[in-house]
């Protein structure tokens, strides 16, 4: 990314989807740190990242694309790597409404993906998969079998 975009002016730079996803992960770790990194490295602007997020069509309920992606990744894994825990948790939401121009809908009501209730949403149920025997490195901590 750095070499390809170095010769181009700011508005002429084009980033791949993979570059934007990586940059978004950095931005979500800390917007202030991301702004500092942008002074050193060629990275997409926060506005570019915001536009990318706004094009995603995320809806309440179960997302079939996520399950399909998990299935494809699981097919490439060894049996021991598939040992995992499925964790569920509720997160608190700030009750508010948003108007989505693209879909012409108002979000903020209790919605399970199939039905919507006339109550303001203040909680969301989320899940995370935690792999037990998968080797990975994160924040300089190595986890082994």
Distance CA(122)–CA(119), nearest Å, equals: 9
Residue 103 DSSP label: T
Q: What is the mean pLDDT of the chain?
A: 80
**What is the C-alpha separation between 132 and 80, in angstroms, rounded?**
9
Express each pLDDT in 81-139 by its tens digit: 888 899 999 999 899 998 878 788 888 899 888 888 899 999 988 888 888 887 544 44
Percentage, residues of the chain above pLDDT 70: 83
Higher-pLDDT residue of 47 and 14 is 47
Q: Are 124 and 93 in contact (CB under 8 A)?
A: yes
Q: Which DSSP string corresponds to 52-97?
A: HHHH----SS--HHHHHHHHHHHHTS-GGGG-EEEEEEEEE-----
pLDDT of residue 136: 47
Give me the residues paired with residue 99 across strands. 106
């Amino acid at each position: 990314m750095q070499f390809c975009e170095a010769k181009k002016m700011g508005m002429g730079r084009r980033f791949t989807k993979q570059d934007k996803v990586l940059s978004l992960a950095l931005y979500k770790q800390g917007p202030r740190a991301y702004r500092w990194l942008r002074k050193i490295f060629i990275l997409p602007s926060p506005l570019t990242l915001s536009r990318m997020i706004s094009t995603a069509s995320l809806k309440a309920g179960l997302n079939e694309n996520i399950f399909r992606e998990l299935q494809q990744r699981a097919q490439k894994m060894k049996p021991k790597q598939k040992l995992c825990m499925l964790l569920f948790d509720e997160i608190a939401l700030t009750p508010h409404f948003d108007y989505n121009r693209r879909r012409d809908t108002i979000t903020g009501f209790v919605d399970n993906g199939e039905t919507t209730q006339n109550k303001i949403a203040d909680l969301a149920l989320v899940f995370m998969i935690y792999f037990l025997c998968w080797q990975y490195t994160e924040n300089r901590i190595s986890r082994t079998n």
